[in-house]
């Protein structure tokens, strides 16, 4: 999947890797073994072109530090695609002692300089959200959008997980390239489909 020798990272939980990416997790099989949220990412500022992360940030002991490191190493206008459990999922998220943080469709608005939710004047972490995508559970997929939205906002266990497409903002006054949300979703799905279990390499 690598093109033009771009620096592409997969920040995971030690279960899978993506060929032709630099894979980072706590696993000894990863290309770079470290603890997200504790260790600095071993890359120069503004040196990374693309980051994919699937169900990793919720495990981070220090979410803001982990996000600040991701932001630090990304180039201005680079993509950060990530998937996370949805806040109201009870069985596999809220009761999971290894899930330390909650996420919904507004989580990254706090880091968008164009949104009013960014209330911390000392914040140096800036992302622009291009898309979010809900993964509804069971029969909720069949409901008309207004009813699904009501259920999502008022009930538990309506959405299993949520995907995001974020664009790193390093220089707020420098215009970034526009990204088509559908193209970003396609790229997200490409990355997810490319994931391979670490144990599968034993038979190669």
Distance CA 43, CA 71 (A): 11
Q: Give me the helices (H) in 19-144, please.
A: 63-73
Domain boundaries, the chain: 8-203
So what's the pLDDT on residue 204?
40
When pLDDT is cut at 50, 70 and 90, the band that residue 14 belongs to is confident
Q: Residues 78, 12, 122, CA angle at the centre, nearest 5°?
A: 50
What are the CA-CA distances from residue 113 to residues 74, 118, 119, 129 (Å)?
Answer: 17, 6, 9, 11
Helix H or strand E encompassing 49: strand 48-54
Q: What CATH number should be reported for the domain whose range is 8-203?
A: 3.40.50
Q: What is the mean pLDDT of the chain?
A: 93
So what's the pLDDT on residue 203?
43
Is the per-residue pLDDT at 26 higher than 50?
yes
Is the per-residue pLDDT at 118 higher than 70?
no
Instruction: Classify strands 48-54 and 159-168 as parallel, antiparallel or unpaired.
Output: unpaired
Residue 181 CB neighbours (<10 A): 13
When pLDDT is cut at 50, 70 and 90, the band that residue 202 belongs to is very low
DSSP-assigned letter for residue 111: G
Q: List 79's β-bridge partners, or say none.
A: 50, 167
Q: Give me the helices (H) in 62-144, please.
A: 63-73
So what's the pLDDT on residue 200?
52
What is the length of the chain?
204
Chain segment 139-164, per-residue pLDDT in tens: 999 999 999 999 999 999 999 999 99
Instruction: Classify strands 74-85 and 48-54 as parallel, antiparallel or unpaired.
Output: parallel
């Amino acid at each position: 999947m690598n093109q033009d020798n771009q620096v592409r990272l997969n920040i995971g939980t030690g279960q899978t890797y993506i060929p032709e990416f630099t894979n980072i997790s706590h696993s000894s099989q990863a290309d770079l073994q470290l603890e997200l949220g504790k260790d600095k990412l071993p890359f120069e500022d503004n040196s990374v072109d693309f980051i994919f992360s699937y169900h990793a940030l919720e495990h981070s002991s220090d979410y803001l530090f982990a996000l600040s490191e991701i932001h630090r190493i990304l180039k201005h206008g680079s993509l950060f695609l990530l998937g996370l459990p949805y806040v109201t999922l009870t069985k596999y998220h809220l009761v999971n002692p290894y899930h330390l943080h909650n996420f919904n469709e507004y989580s990254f608005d706090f880091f968008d300089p164009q949104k009013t939710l960014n209330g911390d004047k000392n914040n140096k972490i800036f992302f622009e959200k291009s898309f979010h995508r809900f993964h509804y559970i069971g029969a909720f997929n069949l409901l008309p959008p207004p009813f699904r939205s009501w259920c999502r906002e008022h009930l538990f266990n309506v959405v299993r997980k949520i995907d995001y497409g974020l664009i790193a903002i390093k220089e707020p006054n420098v215009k970034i390239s526009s990204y088509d949300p559908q193209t970003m979703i396609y790229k997200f799905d490409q990355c997810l489909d490319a994931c391979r279990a670490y144990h599968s390499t034993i038979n190669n």
